[in-house]
Amino acid sequence: MTQEKIQRINELAKKAKSPEGLTDAETAERAALRREYLADVRRNLKAQLDNIEIVD
């Protein structure tokens, strides 16, 4: 995930907390960006776990 997309997620989160809130389009964009971010985090975690070697 690019730094620009992460920055956009943060902008939308800040706007959601403001009194004006988010529009329907922004809410949908935020949901899509969150899904993409979580998928990326899960993929990275799985890759790390797959590379772990247990030694007794």
* Domain architecture of the chain: domains with CATH: 3-50 (1.10.287)
Residue that the structure tokens 């529009």 belong to:
23
- Alpha carbons 12 and 29: distance in angstroms, whole number: 9
pLDDT at 1: 82
**2-23 average pLDDT score:** 93
Of 46, 43, 45, 37, which Cα lies nearest the Cα of 2? Answer: 37
Name residue 33's amino acid: L
**Is the distance from CB of 26 to CB of 40 less than 8 angstroms?**
no
pTM (two decimals): 0.78
Of 22, 13, 44, which Cα lies nearest the Cα of 5? Answer: 13
pLDDT confidence band for 38 (50 / 70 / 90): very high
